[in-house]
Amino acid sequence: MITAVIVGAGHRALCYAELAKICPDKLKIVGVADPLEDRRRYCREYFGFSEDMCFENAAELVKKGKIADAVINGTMDADHVATTIPLLEAGYDVLLEKPFATNMHEVEALDAATRQTQRKVMICHVLRYAPFYAEIKKNILDGKIGKIMHICTAEHVSYHHYTSCFVRGKWNNTKTCGASMLLAKCCHDIDLITWLMSGVAPVSVDSMGGLYFFNKANAPENSGTHCMLNCPLEKTCDYSVRRLHLEHPLAWNAYVWPSHAYTPELNNHEQRLKELMQPDFPHSRCVWKCDNNQIDRQSVIITFADGTVATHNLVTNTARPMRKIHIVGTAGEIEGVFDDNKFVIRHRDLDPSKEHCGNTEEMTDINNCGDTTGITGDHGGGDLRLAMDFVDHVEGKPTSISCTTLADSINGHKLVFAADTAMVEHNQVFFKDFSAEKEKRY
């Protein structure tokens, strides 16, 4: 068992910390550092530690000295590196939420600090741990499709997710949240590509995209600025905050009312309606009249040293959320949809007894694979599997195929920054020469 302190007790950190409740013999949460008193109180009561193990921030925790084996760092994106480096210097190993850095300067700083302190840093690439992607990786390692020739991934971000988090929400503007849309949403997908291609260096990246739909030019005629107070179109609008978060509450309500998770007395219909009616409530703003600058579509093309080409398409405002993957190798192909938890392996079929040349198909349904762990939850069960692997990593035990060095994580983030630079400059970026000085942001 290892002991850990939560730094930044938001939704993501608590997902990983839940392992302490499910497997108390593996992980024990012994403290928390968070500026919000409600969060500190919640963690203290939920995990059962004393008041003197509550801190207002990471700096106060560091002053206390090393009081645990590790830290689960779930701070906001722009705070990840600034809080992690002092923790490494204090002797902690760190489970760090993605994106672990918001620019190349931070990537280089964290890389240097990790080398200098020789501490362990594991990035929360939770999709690697989802059984869907882990099983695909196993099949590739087993040679089922030969050498990879092309990887095509796509993420469809639903209209309710995109508008809640990236138009009205706290990730809606790169200048305040620090992370681009590709970094905040698709560092998962770019990481999956580098993980599948682990050991093969990226050569170049190109990217096209931009913000096309959610801007003032596309606001419907006669629309207001506030859903609840002055918009005559609210009752028929697909993006009405009343319809999305009051009448048909979705999972993204945790980002609309984050404080409600720690103050149950406020988690009721009357309080939510009262907040929606406030003139300055950010999620009641018209989706076409916010201060957002995040792109709503982007395509990325990556070439690798062995000739492999990978593409990723980020598409927002879709009716259905979805992640897709199609990997073509020299001896076969794998294609599947993460949200369906199924993928198919195809091979060429040249059976002379058949009238036409075709293919064989082998379907893998992850739901029917006989998983005995009973681990479920966010990201296809990836969250808790990642936390378990982190515990083993800290203890020096063997880890899964999903666990890699920080170098692979750096490649994925560096590709995101290079892709955003290519999109801004309308120009191909060569990976080897890309550095903090060459990064461009929108």
pLDDT on residue 382: 79
CATH hierarchy code of domain 128-214+293-438: 3.30.360.10
Report domain 2-123's class.
alpha beta
Q: Mean pLDDT lowest for which of 51-65, 193-207, 257-271, 338-352?
A: 257-271
* Contact assessment for residue 180 and residue 392, using Cβ atoms and an 8 Å cutoff: no
What are the φ and ψ backbone dihedral angles of 310, each rounded to 5 degrees?
-125, 140
pLDDT on residue 372: 43
How far apart CA 157 and CA 67 sit, in angstroms, is: 40
What are the φ and ψ backbone dihedral angles of 123, each rounded to 5 degrees?
-90, 145
For residue 134, the SS3 value is helix
* Contact assessment for residue 320 and residue 156, using Cβ atoms and an 8 Å cutoff: yes
Predicted TM-score (pTM) of this structure = 0.90
Instruction: Give percent of the chain above pLDDT 90.
Output: 86
How far apart CA 401 and CA 387 sit, in angstroms, is: 14
Sign of the Cα pseudo-torsion (20, 22, 24, 27, in order): negative
How far apart CA 140 and CA 333 sit, in angstroms, is: 10
How far apart CA 275 and CA 26 sit, in angstroms, is: 40
Per-residue pLDDT for 375 more than 70? no
Per-residue pLDDT for 373 more than 60? no
* Tens of pLDDT, residues 156-169: 999 999 999 999 99
Per-residue pLDDT for 356 more than 80? no
Same fold, 2-123 and 128-214+293-438: no
- Tell me the helix, strand and coil percentages in the chain, rounded to 5: 45, 20, 35
Could you tell me the two tokens for 333? 């192909």
* Tens of pLDDT, residues 59-74: 999 999 999 999 999 9
* Contact assessment for residue 202 and residue 251, using Cβ atoms and an 8 Å cutoff: no
Per-residue pLDDT for 97 more than 80? yes
Contacts of 161 (CB under 8 A, 6+ apart): 252, 321
The average pLDDT across 313-331 equals 97
pLDDT on residue 378: 57
* Tens of pLDDT, residues 389-404: 999 999 999 999 999 8
Sign of the Cα pseudo-torsion (240, 244, 245, 246, in order): positive
The continuous run of DSSP H or E covering 227 comes out as: helix 227-230
What mean pLDDT value characterizes the chain? 93
* Tens of pLDDT, residues 268-294: 899 999 999 999 999 999 999 999 999
How far apart CA 121 and CA 134 sit, in angstroms, is: 21
Burial class (CB in 10 A: 0-12, 13-18, 19+), 219: middle
Per-residue pLDDT for 186 more than 80? yes
- Return the amino acid letter for 213: F
The average pLDDT across 213-237 equals 96
How far apart CA 294 and CA 171 sit, in angstroms, is: 8
| Residue 380's pLDDT band (cuts 50, 70, 90) | low
The average pLDDT across 169-197 equals 94
- Nearest 5°: the CA angle 334, 338, 340 is 105
Q: Mean pLDDT lowest for which of 44-53, 255-264, 325-334, 432-441?
A: 255-264
For residue 238, the SS3 value is coil
How far apart CA 89 and CA 114 sit, in angstroms, is: 9
pLDDT on residue 353: 74
Map out the domains of the chain as residue ranges.
Answer: 2-123, 128-214+293-438, 216-284
